[in-house]
Amino acid sequence: MKSFDAVVIGAGPGGYPTAIRLAQLGKKTAIIEKENFGGVCLNVGCIPSKALIYGSSQYWKMKNEAEEIGISVKGVDCDLAKMQDWKQGVVKKLTTGVQGLLKANGVEIIKGTATFKDSKTLEVASQSGKETITATSFVIATGSRVAQIPILPFNGKNIVSSTEALSLREVPKEMVVVGGGFIGIEIGTVYAKLGSKVTIVEALDQLLSTVDNELVALVQKKMKHFGITVHTGAKALGIKEKEPLKAKKLNLEIETKDKKTQTVSADVILVSVGRSPNSDNMGLEKLGIKMDPRGNILSNNQSMTNVSNIYAIGDVAGAPQLAHRATMDGLLVAETISGKRTYKDYKTVPWAVFCDPEIAVAGLTEKEATEKGFKVKVGRFPFAASGKALAMNESEGMAKIVIDEKTEAILGVHIVGPEASNLIAEAALAIEMGATVEDLVRTIHTHPTLPEVMPEAVEAAFYKAIHIYKPKRG
């Protein structure tokens, strides 16, 4: 039997930083992982998808956009198998690095599947047998898995989840994506740029349903440029083939927004309809740990469950299911376990969609702010008026800033355009610090750079932008 001050279950972007920080704070710490160090994010999520997004974008630009800026590129081809090998090399560097960091910080690594026997005892099963582990505190960081729908069960070949879609060795001639959320749009765009005829089927009336529709409209317009067909308000009814693994082509029946039935053919169907928490088969029920109907573990503002020495962080604790949120949850939990009075008090959790152009958001939408009782001003500044964006040949999109008219505090920032995922960091810092519009406008921004759109968007809300003309109403 091994005993520790703290044990972290799961070595994803929530778990491994938690374990490292606990060790840094002097706690005897172990981390248990049954599969892949780095979790979904590093292995089959954030990192591999962004690698393929980068690769496919380079290919698209060379083939379709280089001529516009005077570069003649002939005989451009894409070897997807080689791109996948490169992507996997990136993944391996990072996942190997995670294990190295854990060891360097003195965290004991235990490989196996953990089950609670009681609130202070785990049984860990591995290929070498079972062992018992005790600890004063436990952190559940087991993440989430892809959700399935009964009419389209995964087979790993031509009906796939994001995991398999990120490892295809050949570009499918036709791909159908069921689900128009972050993951579906990102992966669908990758394969469209590589030459697939892509169709996206989304049950709701808007792609990216939680995103400001002004931003979505611009992305959807660009998707047409990539040859992507979009059906919103549409339902997947199932495939006609009885044995999909033996079929050369799949024929998916959908019900369109106007209630008509249509058939869409595909070599590969990607089902991307959300994620489910990995809270089952851990013995949590016997401990009386409370969960919501979806299986998300309920916790307070210290990530503490109703069993006081057990904490839950990241995807397994519910929305927002974001790697960076899981990391911050974990760092705060480590301090709590070490005796510090630390609480989650996030004013905003920024996020990004790596579509083309990118979308990034921090804070409230205009609608959310109004519903919360704020009287708002809204400023918009287009990348078409940005010297740097024009020089990059990426002038589509805008920055939109939502401002509290009374206090002039920044309530929300919404960006669609080049490098939006990087630009949102300034917005997140501004909202977290309670910055006002004057703070942002009086901060000198380097020229020529993309972040210059931020103060210009603020000034536009007050009819004072320099590089666009916006006449005052009335």
Hey, which residues are catalytic here?
A: 447
Q: Which pair of structure tokens corresponds to residue 363?
A: 């804070």
Residue type, 247: A
Measured between alpha carbons, how far is 268 from 89 in angstroms, rounded to an integer?
Answer: 25
Measured between alpha carbons, how far is 332 from 310 in angstroms, rounded to an integer?
Answer: 14
Q: What is the three-class DSSP state of 42? A: helix
SS (H, E, C) 218-256: HHHHHHHHCCCEEEECCEEEEECCCCHHHCCCEEEEEEC
Measured between alpha carbons, how far is 334 from 344 in angstroms, rounded to an integer?
Answer: 12
CA distances from residue 247 to 157, 204, 272 in whole angstroms, order as listed: 11, 29, 21
| DSSP assigned state of 291 | B
Taking a C-beta distance cutoff of 8 angstroms, is the pair 25, 335 a contact? yes
Measured between alpha carbons, how far is 436 from 413 in angstroms, rounded to an integer?
Answer: 13
Beta strands in 112-188, from DSSP E residues, in sequence order? 113-118, 121-126, 129-140, 144-146, 159-160, 174-178
Strands 268-271 and 261-266: unpaired
Measured between alpha carbons, how far is 26 from 46 in angstroms, rounded to an integer?
Answer: 31
Taking a C-beta distance cutoff of 8 angstroms, is the pair 449, 458 a contact? no
Can you state the angle between helices 182-194 and 213-225, rounded to 10 degrees? Answer: 20
User: At which residue do the structure tokens 């393929």 appear?
Assistant: 52
